[in-house]
Amino acid sequence: MRVVRYHEHGGPDVLQVDEMDRPTPASDEVLVEVRAASVNAVDARFRSGEYGNVSLPAIPGGDAAGVVAEVGERVEDFTAGDRVFAGGLGHGDGGTFAEYATIPEMKVAHLPESVSFEDGAALSNVGVTAWMAFVENAGLRPTEYCLVHGGNGGVGHAAVQLGTAMGANVLATAGSAELCERVRDLGAAAAFDYDSETLAEEIQEATDNEGVDVILDHRLDDYLGLDLTVAAQNGRVVTITGGIPAVTDTPLQAKELTIRGMAIANTSERQPILRRVARLMERGDLTAVVAETYDFEETGEAHRAVTGGGYVGKLIIHP
């Protein structure tokens, strides 16, 4: 089978197409014939060597959608021919930029007939991330204000739609007026340019000065100060990337705020959340935006694009 691999860390050019033997699923694994996989920001960090613990050569890709080709002997819920999608795969799971990928059964769910392979791949990782942030970590409630930093990004575009479906008042940021407009089209009540010098005031005003109840932050190093400023009393900040910078004179205690880190890699049982994501997609509450599609030979280009940003939604790789 054809796979994308890198044999050494480096820039996007280290990605190449190789031939490998088709893998055999372990007893608790499903072998998926991959029809689409998406590019996640973290893929480029593993490739460059910024994140360690990668055994080389490595196949990138942490999500996929496709058709079950074979199942391990202990797998009960899937059979050859099923349409499926999978997300939240770690580097130990083997990578999905391959014609076939073995995936633990607990990270796979059935893909509704009405949802395309591209859309399933696009929303599996980021849909699970948004669900875990809002439902499991923040306990977002209807009518609350929530702020999604980078509402046009992969996670952001899923979070804007999920927050809207949950009945929250969604505010978001993006990198230009045009991207803000697109984020409002996804359901955000208001969207702001993240470079605005009056960002905090604009956000406060949009909440009628009540403050933001839930904040989904993907650049805590840059935005913790702003988060603490715009947070409402008892506000919850869920962070998916970045450390805690030195912030002085904070309203952390006075507002009784919670800052909570999360990582999808910590949840081994992803199937129940994927099933919820599937239901949201089937109902039309969560719709993937596919910004661009690439074939295996163009994976380097896709890695450059994910690092550059400036688009809405997800980049898709086709075998």
Ligand X SMILES: NC(=O)c1ccc[n+]([C@@H]2O[C@H](COP(=O)([O-])OP(=O)(O)OC[C@H]3O[C@@H](n4cnc5c(N)ncnc54)[C@H](OP(=O)(O)O)[C@@H]3O)[C@@H](O)[C@H]2O)c1
Stretch that binds ligand X, among 26-34, 99-107, 112-120, 168-176 (CB under 6 A): 168-176
Amino acid at residue number 102: T
Least separation, in Å, of the C-beta of 239 and ligand X? 8
**Pairwise CA distance, residues 203 & 172, whole Å:** 9
Q: How far apart are CA 47 and CA 251, in angstroms?
A: 39
Rounded to 5 degrees, φ, ψ at 317 are: -110, 130
Q: Can you tell me whether residue 127 is helix, strand or coil? A: helix
Amino acid identity of residue 25, one-letter, is P
Confirm or reject binding of residue 40 to ligand X (CB under 6 A). yes
Provide the angle, in degrees to the nearest 10, between the axes of the packed helices 177-185 and 154-165: 40
Segment near ligand X (CB under 6 A); pick from 5-13, 38-46, 72-80, 103-111? 38-46
Q: Which of 20, 41, 54, 165 binds ligand X (CB under 6 A)?
A: 41
Q: Rounded to an integer, what distance in angstroms lies between the CA atom of residue 86 and that of residue 65?
A: 6
Tokens matching residue 57: 């050569």
Residues in the chain: 319
Shortest distance (Å) from residue 297 CB to ligand X: 22
- Exactly one of 134, 192, 194, 296 binds ligand X (CB under 6 A); which one? 194
What is the x/- site pattern for ligand X, positions 138-157, by CB under 6 A?
A: -----------xx-xxxxx-
Count of residues that bind ligand X according to CB under 6 A: 28
Is residue 110 within the footprint of ligand X (CB under 6 A)? no
**What does the binding site for ligand X look like in residue numbers (CB under 6 A)?**
40-42, 126, 129, 149-150, 152-156, 173-175, 179, 194, 218-219, 222, 240-241, 262-264, 306, 309-310
